[in-house]
Structures are given as C-alpha cells and as structure tokens.
Amino acid sequence: MPKEFYHRNEHSLKWQDWVSCLSCLLMLGGMVFSRLLLSVGMILLFLNALHPNQIKECWQKFKASRFAWASLSFFIAYLISGFWSEDKSSWLSVIQTKLPFLFFPFAMFSLPLKNNKWLKIVGFGLFIFLLGGMCYSFYFAIFQPDSISAIGHMPSPMEGDYIRFTIVIVLALMFFVFFINNSNQLKLPKAVAGLLIVWALIAVAYIHIQAAKSGIVAFSILSVAFILDYGIRQKKFGAMIIYLGLFAAGEYAFSKTPSVSTQINRFTDEKKVIEIPNDTAVANQTGSVILRLNSYKVASKIIKQHPVAGVGAGDVKQEMDKLYVRDFPKLNVDARIIPHNEFLCGAMAIGIVLSLLTLIPMVFFPWLEKNNSRSIYFITTWVILLFGLMIEPMLEVQFGIFVFLFFIYLWTDIPINKSNVSP
C-alpha cells in the first residue's frame, strides 16, 4: 500500500470528513446493534454528500460508476413492479427496505477512506463493534446457556441473524489482514498490531463456536484465497502447500468440537430426510437444508408461471404461501420461508428479464469500476458476497443490503499498490 491515497480538495471543510466518519461509525454500530442507528447513519452520510463542497465531486464519481447506476436500476425495477403488485402495502414495505440502493452508493462517494487517518478510524470502529457483538453472544453462552438454540447457535446481534453476522466477521478479518500487511504505512504501533491479532483470534474462535455453516465456508474461502495468493505471488509453492495442509488440519480439528460436530450431524440427518419424499411431518423438525429445498421448489414453480415480469415485489410472500399450502399442506407456517437465494427472489419479484438487466449487472459491474485495483481483498470479498447471495436472501433485509453495498464499495474505492495517495 502506498504512503498516500489522494489529496483532498484543499478548500473542502475538514469537519465534513468528520461527519462522514461519524456517519460511517453509526452505520457500522447500527449494523451490529440497531437498525435505527444504521438508518440514521445512512441518512446523515447522504445529507453530507449533498453539501456544496461535496456534491459536485460525488456526482462526478456517481456518473462514472457502473455499479452505482446498476444499483439505481435495481431499485427502479422493484419500484415499477408496484404496477403489477396487488398487495400495495407489502410492495411499499419492500421499497422502503430497498431504499439504500437509491441513495447509498451516491452517499458512499463522500467517505474519505483513501486517507489513512479516516481509514483507521473506520477500521477500528468496525473491529470494536464486532467485538462487542461477539461478547454479546459469549455472555449468553457463558451465563445463560439455556439461551443457546436447539441447533447449537449462540444468541447473535443483528437481530439474531447469526448467519450474516458471521459473514461480516469474515469480511472484517479481511480488513484485519489489510491493516497488518500495511502496518508500517498506516503507522500502527506494535501494541495495536498485537491487539488486532488478539481480535482476529477471538473472531476465528467465534466463527467456529457459533458454527454457522455459511460463516465457516466464508472463512474457508478467505483463508484458501490468501494462502493461494501468497504462494503464487511469492512463488513459494512449497510453503503454500504446507499452509493449505495446516489449514485443512485446523478445520478438521475444529470439526470435532461439539458445536461444529452438531451441525455436521444435523446435516447428515437432513440428508436422510431428503430421501423421504413429501414427509413434511419430519421436515418440520429439521433445520435449514430441507426447508431451503422446499422454498427452491416453490420459487421455481412461481418463476415458471411468471417468467417475464414476476409476480411483483409486493406479492412474493402471498404467492409462495399459496403454493406452500397446496404442495406442503402439513408444513408449519413458520417453515414457509422465502428462497435463500437472492437470484430466485429477484426472478420471482421482478421477473427474469429485469433481473438480467439489473440484479446481474449490479453483482458483476464492480469488476468494471475505474478505481478497482482488483486486489485479493476485492476478489475475496466479491466471492464471499456472491456466495452469500446464493445461500441467503441477502438483499431482502436492510442489514444484508448494507453489508453488500458497503464492502463492495470499500474494496473498489481503496487503491492498492498505487502511488497517488496521502497520509
């Protein structure tokens, strides 16, 4: 990483950078603990981007960003689906959730993350908030063990969304690697670097104790990606093989811990359930896999019936409930989930055509961003988020939308190994 990122407009007010960073910290804290704080942070950042000293620069960046335009088009697609959504109140609720796609990319262009000072403030804020979230879970695990769910998961922040929370921790581990790799340029004292290493060890332990399958897979993607990058870039193939072996051995050892082995056993049990056709009585007692498969079947039928325009953003749940009642009459109501795949959700809501024109470009256009250095940080983040979109309805909730937009922006905006920077 170079010593400087860029030179801010000397006439811009320093307090605007403080407002931007405060907004970012509110968003990160809200991501972990409060949707209200997350919303306030987003709005404050957007208003700051509209300041006369910022708006021209933000608009120029927005105009040049394919990702920002794709995000806007994705929002517009859901907006116009109201014309064929019968349930207008549900449609309005969906639009409110999707609002960040309208204004957040523009607002993000006001963040001074190319400056080491502000980057460190945001990074340390992220580490502290996530540590607070992990301590929240550990508190219940230690002092209120009865609060641990029947499937072995600790209570989680982000309104109990342990899947997305563990994925965010993995994405923050990428930030940790970036800080350690560039500790000299960031002028991190050794004591601070040591504390970051302790934080990372706690984070890795948390991911495996929480034993969310998606979190462990995301951590594996990150670990393997950086080991391969190190071996190929440094041409140390022997060391790369040794590190991969050590990682595999470590994961095998973790698989023998009670929390992880419980998830493995549950997955094995669910495989047996899948082999019992239409046994919804058994399905009601199982975890995520069989219910996700049910949701995929229902979603696929709806997409076949409405391939062009979908059913409208407001009618997805209603249409799914109809098919659940018809095809899975004994399935509990709380087991009627929407498909844990964002691409199926999009195709149901706005149709295949608009999904191909908006959702797919929004996912892939970050690769075409002008400032994207396509570093290992961006590539790994993008792969993890793509994985998240494939196994979760990530863009159907505010937390997921923020995680997707924020971390994509972060690694497309920070130039890696360039010379045009500022301390």
Give residue-wise pLDDT tens across range 192-227: 999 999 999 999 999 988 878 888 999 999 999 999
Task: List the structure tokens of 107.
Answer: 């607002």
Q: For position 4, what pLDDT does the model report?
A: 42
The one-character DSSP state at 368 is G
Question: Given phi > 0 = left and psi -120 to 50 = alpha, else beta, which region is 328?
Answer: beta
> Cβ neighbours of residue 406 under 8 Å, at least 6 residues apart?
27, 108
Q: For position 159, what pLDDT does the model report?
A: 73
pLDDT, tens digit, 9 for 90 and up, residues 116-164: 888 999 999 999 999 999 999 888 888 877 766 555 678 888 777 788 8
Task: List the structure tokens of 369.
Answer: 């961003």
- Axis-axis angle for helices 116-143, 162-181 (nearest 10): 140
Enumerate the β-bridge partners of residue 115. 422
Question: Is residue 102 within 8 Å of 72, Cβ to Cβ?
Answer: yes
Question: Is residue 114 within 8 Å of 5, Cβ to Cβ?
Answer: yes
Number of CB atoms found within 10 A of residue 328's CB: 19
Is residue 293 very low, low, confident or very high in pLDDT (cuts 50, 70, 90)? confident
Going from the C-alpha of 269 to that of each of 152, 213, 216, 293, the distances in angstroms are 15, 15, 19, 15
Q: For position 254, what pLDDT does the model report?
A: 79
**How is 139-195 classified by DSSP, letter by letter?**
HHHHH-GGGS-TTSPPP-TTTT-HHHHHHHHHHHHHHHHHHHHTTTTTT--HHHHHH
Question: Is residue 302 within 8 Å of 347, Cβ to Cβ?
Answer: no
Residue 103 scores a pLDDT above 80: yes
